[in-house]
Amino acid sequence: MEGQTAESRGLAEKASPAAAPPSLSSLGAVFILMKSALGAGLLNFPWAFHQAGGLAPAFFVELVSLVFLVSGLLILGYAASVSGQPTYQSVVHWLCGPSVGKLCEACFIINLLMISVAFLRVIGDQLEKLCDFLLPSALPALQPWYVDQRFTLTLLSILVILPLSTPREIGFQKYTSILGTLAACYLTLVIMVQYYFWPQGLVREPHFLQSPSSWTSVFSVFPTICFGFQCHEAAVSIYCSMRNQHLSHWALVSTLSLLACCLIYTLTGAYGFLTFGAGVSADILMSYPGNDVVVIVARVLFAVSIVTVYPIVLFLGRSVLQDFWKRSCCRAPPDPSGLGVRMPLTISWVAATLTMALLLPDLGEVIGIIGGISSFFIFIFPGLCLICAMDIEPLGPGLKCCLELWGVASVLVGTFIFGQSTVAAVLELF
C-alpha cells in the first residue's frame, strides 16, 4: 500500500490545506498514540477479564481485537496519504462522500464529548478519594468546602486542564504524553506488586470462573477493549504531524504503540483478575483498601495520566468544530485554528464537559455506549475508507479484491460490536 502513483500524490497535494511543516518525531508519535489509548479503560480491564470467563478467553479476544486495531491504524495512515487531508473526519468526508462524512462528524462529537466527561468523572473520583485520605472525617458533611469535588475538579480544570488544551498543534502533547504513560505504567506495577506481596488489609477472593458463562459474556468484552484502545480518532492527526510519513514507518510506529499498550493492559487485567477473582470491581482501584499509601499514590498518578490525555481528546473534538466553522462562514472566515476561534472553542468544551461531569452521578452505563461508538472509528470508518480508496488507487485485481474483502470484514465486525454493546447498554438502563 505504500507505493503511490504520481496521480494519487497530485490529488493529495491538491486536497491538502496549507499547514505548518510536520515536526513530530517518531518517538513522540509513539507516546501520543500510547497515551491516547492508555486512558480510563485501564481501570476496567481486570473486570473485563472476569467477564470474559478467565485468562484464556480474555487473551483470545484481545489478540483478535489487536489484529483489527493495528489494521485500522494502517488503513487510516494509507487513507490520509491518498486523500491528503489532515484530520480523521476530513479523510472520511473526502473518500466516502458528504453523507458518511457528516455521520463521522456527529459520531466524533458525541463520542469525544462523552469520553471527556468520563475522564473528568474519573479525575473527580480520584480527587475525592485523595481528600478523604488526607482529611478523614466520620461525617462527610462536616468536611471543609474546599475538598468538595465540585470545587477541586473545577479548580483543576481551570488551572491545569485548560492551559494544556490550548496549544494549536497536537505535537505539543508529546511531552505530557510521556508523563502520562509513565503514570499508567506505575498503576500496572502496583497491581503486580500487590499480587505478590499481599499487603495487610487486602482481602483475597479465591473464586475463579473455570470457563465463560456464555459466548455472550465473551463478546461483551469487545466494547471494553474498544474503549481501552481507542487511539484511532487521533491517528490521522498524528500521522500528518510526523516528519517521516512513509507508510512502512507508520506501520512500525502503530504496531509498536499498540503492542506496548497491549502489554500494559494485559498485565493489569491479568494480575488484577488473579488478585480478586470474581470479586473484582469494575474500577480496579476500588478493590484495594482506601488507606494504602501505595494505592493512594497510584490514584494520584492515574489522575495525572487522565489529565494528560484529556487535551488530546479535546484537540480532536475541536478540530471537528473548526471544520464546521470554516464551512459555515460564507465569506473569508478567520483562521479556525487561530487564537480568536481556538480559545472560545476550547473554553466552551471544558466548561460543557465539566458541567456534565458534575451533574451526572454515574457513568457506568455510558461506558458500554462509548465503546460501541468507538467501534465506528476502529472498524467501520476505516473499513469504508479502504473500500472507497480502491476506486482511486490503481492496484492489481488480486490485491484490490483482498483489501476490499478486509474492508468489508472490518465494517461487519464493527457493526456487530456496536449493535451488541448498544443493546446491552439499553437493557441495563431498563
94, 96, 102, 105 alpha-carbon torsion, rounded to 10°: -70
- Give the C-alpha separation, 210 to 179, whole Å: 38
Q: In this predicted structure, what is the pLDDT of residue 255?
A: 92
Burial of 291 (0-12, 13-18, 19+ CB in 10 A): exposed
Please give the helix or strand (H or E) that residue 70 lies within, else none.
helix 55-83
Rounded Cα distance between 324 and 334, Å, is 13
Q: How many CA atoms lie within 13 A of 56 on its CB side?
A: 5
Q: Supply the pLDDT for residue 14.
A: 37
pLDDT value, residue 57: 85
How many C-beta atoms lie closer than 10 Å to residue 100's C-beta?
17
How much of the chain is in helix, strand and coil states, percent to nearest 5? 80, 0, 20
Residue 254 burial (CB count, 10 A): 27
Q: Please, what sign has the CA dihedral across residues 353, 354, 356, 357? A: positive
**Which residues are CB-contacts of 292 (< 8 A; sequence separation ≥ 6)?**
199, 201, 202
The C-alpha cell at 382 is 476505516
pLDDT at 16 (0 to 100): 39
Mapped onto helix, strand or coil, the DSSP state of residue 23 is: coil
Instruction: Using the CB atoms, write b or e for 368-393: b if 16+ within 10 Å.
Output: bbbbbbbbbbbbbbbbbbbbbbeebb
As a whole number of angstroms, the distance between CA 124 and CA 286 comes to 14
pTM, rounded to two decimals: 0.80
Residue 79 zone, left/alpha/beta (φ > 0; ψ -120 to 50; rest) = alpha
Reference 323, options 81, 78, 102; nearest CA is 102
Q: Distance between CA 382 and CA 379 in Å, rounded? A: 6
The fold for domain 23-215+229-361 equals Hydantoin permease (1.10.4160)
Q: Render each residue's pLDDT in the chain as its tens digit; 430 residues.
A: 333 333 333 333 333 344 457 778 888 888 888 877 877 778 888 888 888 878 888 888 888 888 989 999 999 999 999 888 888 888 999 999 989 988 988 888 888 888 888 888 888 878 877 877 777 665 555 667 777 778 888 999 999 888 888 877 665 666 666 777 788 888 899 999 888 887 666 665 555 555 555 666 667 777 777 778 888 888 898 898 888 888 889 999 999 999 999 999 999 999 988 888 877 877 788 788 777 788 888 888 888 888 888 888 888 888 888 877 777 765 555 565 667 778 888 999 999 999 988 887 665 556 666 777 888 888 999 999 999 998 887 778 888 889 999 999 999 988 888 877 766 666 665 5
Residue 257 identity (one-letter amino acid): S
Count CB-CB contacts under 10 A for residue 10: 12
Residue 59: Cβ within 10 Å count:
15
Give residue limits of the domains in the chain. 23-215+229-361
Are 256 and 263 in contact, with CB atoms under 8 Å apart?
no
Spatial neighbors of 344 by CB under 8 A, at least 6 apart, are none
Do 190 and 298 touch, CB atoms closer than 8 A? yes
Amino acid 12: pLDDT: 37
